[in-house]
Chains A and B, each alone.
Chain A
């Protein structure tokens, strides 16, 4: 627990979070171009009807349904992209934290504490978002706050540890 585990974890975890990048491009995983075009067509139909009077419900309904579907898809893409970004950043943070911990002249138990905080941070934050975005396990999202809190605590305490540990090392 001296930082090595964070580097190993960070690199392996990065593989999985980076994989979300290509997944974002898979058709049907997010907002479809096709869906957007259908909404466009429906809106054109409404505009046509508007020229001669009130547009009919028959013309409005497909536009509204299409837009709702498109927004749903766009939301899904946004969440997947957010998981991708957070996961990548937290993987890199673990690698960086591991390197910093290896170089700091601080007690082994303090290093273990910081190491665990960064692991909990990544697993409980972007890990939980991953479960929601990729596997649809929605309840997991409730636990993401635990990871966020652990990351903030880890960053603050690493700042303190750096102030003490770098001075000692010099």
Chain B
């Protein structure tokens, strides 16, 4: 049997990749610091807890900057970075969306759906993440500006802690799904977020060109 010949095709622009890793690193640091503050907060000396909160807030602002740039990039970036690539707004994208649902429903049996950049099913989740992460940044910034006494009773802190769990679920699901898609599809999804290229056969690329 002849092995299909895969060729690299540029899919992700440099800024999108830089923002992806910037935001990923920031989220991981924020989760680590946030978990430490939440779990050990009361056992730590007050000064140490305050320091941790300040560092957490500083990384929060760095994440906020990355998130803001990514959201603007949804409207000004190249085609594969835009909101239209994320959401199933065309008939073709809706078909890929439903194919993905069926693919997951059938426990990854049969041919995996073919798409150029974002999977529209995952795209909805990413759009939701952008919204949830924005809430997280705003609730964090407001909480940080409150005096200590008000901070503990604030509704913004409750929102911040609730969204923290949603983000942990998102990160775990995202990493799991990326690994599964990498193994099942074989388009080089993970490395594409480093070098920008996804691998497609000539036939696949031809069918994706009008995407």
Given A110-B15, A149-B61, A157:B69 Cβ within 8 A: yes
Stretch at the interface among A11-19, A52-60, A111-119, A128-136: A111-119
Bound CA span A96–B107, Å = 56
A-B contact pairs, 22 of them (CB 8 A): A1-B76, A109-B76, A109-B78, A110-B15, A113-B72, A113-B73, A113-B76, A113-B77, A116-B76, A117-B72, A120-B68, A120-B72, A142-B142, A145-B64, A145-B141, A146-B64, A149-B68, A150-B65, A150-B68, A152-B65, A153-B65, A153-B66
Interface residues of A (CB under 8 A from B): 1, 107, 109-110, 112-113, 116-117, 120, 142, 145-146, 149-150, 152-153, 157
Bound CA span A142–B154, Å = 15
CB of B111 to closest CB in A, whole Å: 34
Interface residues of B in 160-188 (CB under 8 A from A): none
Residues of B within 8 Å of A120, CB to CB, are 68, 72
Chain A: CB-nearest residue to B81? A109
Interface residues of B (CB under 8 A from A): 15, 61, 64-66, 68-69, 72-73, 76-78, 141-142, 145
Q: Is the CB of A153 within 8 A of B76?
A: no
Residues of B within 8 Å of A157, CB to CB, are 69
Residues of B within 8 Å of A150, CB to CB, are 65, 68
Bound CA span A110–B77, Å = 7
Chain A: CB-nearest residue to B61? A149
Chain B: CB-nearest residue to A156? B65
Residues of B within 8 Å of A116, CB to CB, are 72, 76
Bound CA span A145–B139, Å = 12
Residues of A within 8 Å of B141, CB to CB, are 145
Q: A120-B68, A146-B64 are in contact. List 15 more A-B contacts (CB 8 A).
A: A113-B73, A113-B76, A113-B77, A116-B72, A142-B145, A145-B64, A145-B141, A146-B68, A149-B65, A149-B68, A150-B68, A152-B65, A153-B66, A153-B68, A157-B69
Bound CA span A107–B142, Å = 36
Residues of B within 8 Å of A112, CB to CB, are 76
Chain A: CB-nearest residue to B79? A109
Residues of A within 8 Å of B78, CB to CB, are 107, 109
Q: Is the CB of A113 within 8 A of B61?
A: no
Bound CA span A145–B73, Å = 20
Residues of B within 8 Å of A107, CB to CB, are 78
Residues of A within 8 Å of B61, CB to CB, are 145, 149
Q: Which of A1, A110, A146, A149 has the most CB of B within 10 A?
A: A149
Residues of B within 8 Å of A113, CB to CB, are 15, 69, 72-73, 76-77
